[in-house]
């Protein structure tokens, strides 16, 4: 499924570069007013103006597909705060303090995503409050700082760690971890979703990992970027004793895509902030989060914590069921609600299978037909289960009225293949 997704990424990039002709530029302008200072038409269609394809996301929170849609509360916060200036140091401090209170931890900050949180958290641990070291990163004088990771936890995002100049030391099992720690060890990183991505059990579990770190006074950092729902995960890892935790803001929390959360120990968060914008030079300066998105991230988290998660889950299940029942009218087509084991990306989706002798098409062909159709619908991907090819159809990022659009288009494409 992962490789399929990657090849889909390439294709999307290729197709969006082939822009269709611009729509008529002579758009009626409405009166200038306080709410509409530029006098733009109320429903200015920027997608059309630029010839960018609107996509229905019947997949997951994929970065190449712009992540997720911001909650109305997020958008309201962005709009409500866009008309005044703020001191960015004060804003980061106050937003951070509030988020820390909400997440029952010492301190927090808003970063430009979880990947930036990995850079900033690591940089902060390396530099502490030392201004010279901040200036030197990623070329610190002396030995390279070492970060310990389980071999089975190595992943694409650990380049964020080496961006700071640190080196990753791979270990397996708690004994190897103990032995690997030396004077250059600055931190240990736990990739929470490793078991979801690779299906391989952690060689050091969370508790052992934290215990080894505590014994050697090494900060522990956990990447849980895609690990809500359940909402409880936002509290779980700091309670276990991890010193730093990161979550993406633009996945299921539905904040700005270019925002994320870094939280945990106060001294480490303060050091991370020193390595970030609005300071002019440090490694994190190119990872700026604007004022509106800081407010937006706060509003998104607040809304996420207050949401009725049971009701939301039920709604997702009924979406999957309504698509399933619509396509089940085609001979041999079956839909099954699938919830991954977790901890990463734990949301329901529909796994669709059929007898390819009766419905003469493959999941990949259906994926492509939906993507290339009007409207463009991008599914979660194709995969296999029990030797059977399947198409994964996501439901959690659909706008309510898009559920029936996806069901109808899917049915149409499958029906055309019945021969
Ligand atoms: C998505 C993801 C990231 C990156 O998060 P951004 O918020 O997009 O920077 C990092 N780690 C994991 C495990 C992820 O799933």
Residue 94 lies in a domain: yes
Report how far ligand 1's centroid is from the alpha carbon of 117 (Å).
Answer: 9
Parent domain of 195? 85-306
Count H helices and E strands in the chain, helices first: 16, 13
pTM: 0.90
The pLDDT-based confidence of 199 (bands split at 50, 70, 90) is very high
pLDDT at position 10 over 80: no
Q: What is the CATH number of the domain that holds 377?
A: 3.90.1150.180
Q: Whose CA is nearest to atom 8 of ligand 1?
A: 113
Residue 219's contacts (CB-CB under 8 Å, 6 or more residues apart) are: 125, 186, 187, 188, 213, 243, 244, 265, 268
Tell whether 302 and 321 lie within a shared domain: no
Average pLDDT taken over every residue of the chain: 92
The residue out of 256, 287, 306 marking a domain boundary is: 306
Q: Distance from the CA of 327 to the center of ligand 1, in angstroms?
A: 33
| Integer CA distances (angstroms), 185 to 122, 128, 189, in order | 12, 14, 11
Average pLDDT of the segment spanning 237-264? 98
Cα–Cα distances (Å) from 203 to 152, 173, 340, in that order, read: 8, 5, 21
- Hey, which of 59, 117, 160, 223 would you mutate to test ligand 1's pocket, going by the most ligand atoms within 8 Å of its Cβ? 223
Same domain, 199 and 264: yes
Average pLDDT over residues 188-211: 97
Shared-domain flag, residues 248 and 354: no
pLDDT reported for residue 36: 64
Model confidence pLDDT, tens digit, residues 41-83: 667 899 999 999 999 999 999 999 999 999 999 999 999 999 9
From the CB of 64, is ligand 1 less than 6 Å away?
Answer: no
Pair (297, 316) in one structural domain: no
Give yes or no: residues 396 and 251 share one domain. Answer: no
Query: Has residue 3 been placed in a domain?
Result: no
Q: Is residue 388 part of a domain?
A: yes
Asked if residue 39 belongs to a domain, the reply is: no
Q: Has residue 3 got a pLDDT over 80?
A: no
Q: Residue 259: is it exposed, middle or buried by C-beta count within 10 angstroms (0-12/13-18/19+)?
A: buried
Is 337 found in the same domain as 233? no
Which residues does residue 392 pair with via DSSP β-bridges, in sequence order? 351, 381
Q: Which residues pair with 169 in a beta bridge?
A: 148
Asked whether residue 249 is assigned to any structural domain, the reply reads yes
| pLDDT higher than threshold 90 for residue 138 | yes
**pLDDT exceeds 80 at position 14:** no
Beta bridge partners of 384: 389
Does any ligand 1 atom lie closer than 6 A to the CB of residue 192? Answer: no
- For residue 63, tell me if it sits in a domain: no
292 and 165 in a common domain: yes
Q: How confident is the model at residue 4 (pLDDT cuts 50, 70, 90)?
A: very low
Looking at residues 189-218, what average pLDDT do you find?
97
In the prediction, which pLDDT does 53 show?
96
Nearest CA to ligand 1 atom 11: 225
Domain boundary pick from 278, 306, 334: 306
Q: Are residues 266 and 343 in the same domain?
A: no
The whole-angstrom separation of Cα 194 and Cα 149 is 11
pLDDT at 23 (0 to 100): 34
- Residue 34: which pLDDT band, with cuts at 50, 70 and 90? low
Helix ranges (DSSP H) in 72-137: 72-81, 88-102, 114-127, 131-136
Question: And the tokens for 195?
Answer: 């078991």
157 and 127 share a domain? yes
- Produce one character per residue of 138-156: b if its CB has 16 or more CB atoms within 10 Å, e if not: eebeeebbbbbbbebbeee
Residue 152 belongs to some domain of the structure: yes
Widest distance between CA atoms in the chain: 71
Give the chain's domain count.
2
Whether 393 maps to a domain, the answer reads: yes
CATH number for position 280: 3.40.640.10
- Give Rg (Cα) of the chain: 23
352, two tokens: 């669709």
Residues in the chain: 419
In this structure, the answer to whether residues 366 and 337 fall within a common structural domain is: yes
Residue 209 shares a structural domain with residue 351: no
Share above pLDDT 70 across residues of the chain, in percent, rounded to a whole number: 90
**pLDDT over threshold 80, residue 114:** yes
Domain boundary among 275, 306, 337: 306
Cα(371)–Cα(378) distance, integer angstroms = 5
Q: How does pLDDT run across 286-324, given as a tens digit for each residue?
A: 999 999 999 999 999 999 999 999 999 999 999 999 999
Mean pLDDT of 351-366: 97
| Pair 179, 107 in one domain | yes
């Amino acid at each position: 499924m992962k490789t399929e997704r990657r090849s889909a990424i390439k294709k999307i990039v290729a197709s969006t570069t082939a822009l269709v002709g611009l729509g008529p530029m002579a758009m009626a302008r409405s009166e200038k007013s306080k709410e509409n200072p530029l006098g733009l038409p109320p429903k200015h269609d920027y997608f059309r103006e630029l010839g960018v394809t609107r996509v229905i996301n019947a997949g997951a929170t994929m970065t190449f597909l712009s992540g997720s849609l911001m909650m109305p509360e997020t958008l309201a916060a962005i709009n409500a705060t866009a008309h005044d200036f703020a001191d960015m140091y004060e804003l980061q401090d106050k937003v951070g303090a509030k988020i820390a209170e909400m997440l029952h931890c010492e301190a927090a900050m808003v970063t430009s995503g979880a990947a930036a949180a990995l850079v900033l958290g690591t940089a902060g641990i390396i530099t502490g409050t030392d201004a010279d070291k901040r200036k030197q990163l990623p070329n610190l004088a002396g030995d390279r700082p070492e970060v310990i990771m389980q071999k089975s936890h190595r992943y694409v995002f650990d380049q964020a760690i080496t961006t700071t100049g640190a080196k990753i030391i791979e270990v397996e099992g708690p004994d190897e971890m103990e032995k690997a720690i030396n004077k250059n060890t600055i931190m240990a990183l736990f990739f929470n979703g490793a078991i979801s991505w690779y299906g391989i059990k952690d060689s050091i579990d969370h508790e052992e990992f934290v215990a080894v770190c505590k014994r050697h006074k090494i900060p522990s950092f956990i990447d849980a970027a895609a690990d809500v729902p359940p909402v409880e995960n936002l509290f779980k890892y700091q309670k276990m004793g991890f010193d730093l935790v990161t979550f993406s803001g633009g996945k299921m929390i539905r904040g700005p895509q270019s925002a994320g959360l870094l939280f945990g120990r106060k001294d480490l968060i303060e050091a991370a902030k020193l390595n970030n914008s609005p300071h002019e030079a440090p490694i994190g300066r190119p990872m700026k989060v604007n004022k509106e998105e800081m407010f937006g991230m706060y509003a998104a988290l607040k809304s996420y914590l207050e949401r009725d998660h049971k009701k939301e889950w039920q709604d997702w299940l009924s979406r999957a069921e309504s698509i399933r029942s619509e396509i089940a009218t085609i001979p041999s087509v079956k839909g099954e609600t699938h919830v991954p084991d977790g901890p990463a990306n734990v949301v329901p989706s529909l796994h669709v299978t059929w007898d390819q002798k009766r419905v003469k098409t493959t999941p990949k062909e259906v994926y492509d037909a939906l993507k290339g159709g009007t409207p463009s619908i991008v599914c979660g991907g194709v995969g296999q289960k029990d030797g059977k090819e399947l198409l994964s159809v996501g439901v959690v990022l659909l706008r309510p009225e898009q559920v029936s659009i996806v069901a109808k288009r899917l049915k149409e494409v499958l029906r055309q293949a019945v021969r």
